[in-house]
Amino acid sequence: KAGVTQTPRYLIKTRGQQVTLSCSPISGHRSVSWYQQTPGQGLQFLFEYFSETQRNKGNFPGRFSGRQFSNSRSEMNVSTLELGDSALYLCASTETSGSPNEQFFGPGTRLTVL
């Protein structure tokens, strides 16, 4: 079974631009979660989607948004980029939402905002 894939792996943007990141979960997994990883803050939860519905949302501004498609693939969008948005963005998939099953993580997208 193929693992979680994320594209692109690296992005360089400038302040004020917007960016879209993509995540394809493991086949059969319907829940996708997104996290922001920075050296000082560790992993911060962004949001979770299950069956095309947002189930949970973390404490991030409205510039951060996401969606999930019928094939469970998910995208997250960040508008009006700020320098502080530079981070590794990780997505993780699991079979269902809220279960004790472990999450499977993708390799991440490294976003650099100049």
2 touching another protein, by CB under 8 A: no
For position 26 contacting another protein by CB under 8 A, the verdict is no
Q: Which of residues 44-63 bind another protein (CB under 8 A)?
A: 45, 48, 55-56, 58
* 5-7 sheet: strands from edge to edge: 5-7, 19-24, 74-78, 64-68
- Cα dihedral 7/12/14/20 (nearest 10): 0
As beta bridge partners, residue 92 has 33, 105
Is residue 92 part of the contact set for another protein (CB under 8 A)? Answer: yes
CB contact set of 77 (below 8 Å; sequence gap of 6+): 18, 19, 20, 21, 64, 65, 66
Give the residue carrying structure tokens 């992005």. 11
Question: Taking CB under 8 A as the rule, does residue 12 contact another protein?
Answer: no
**Closer Cβ to another protein, 17 or 73, answer by number:** 73
Verify binding: residue 32, another protein, rule CB under 8 A.
no
Q: Is 42 in the site for another protein (CB under 8 A)?
A: yes
What residues make contact with another protein under the rule CB under 8 A?
4, 33, 35, 41-43, 45, 48, 55-56, 58, 90, 92, 97-98, 100, 102-108
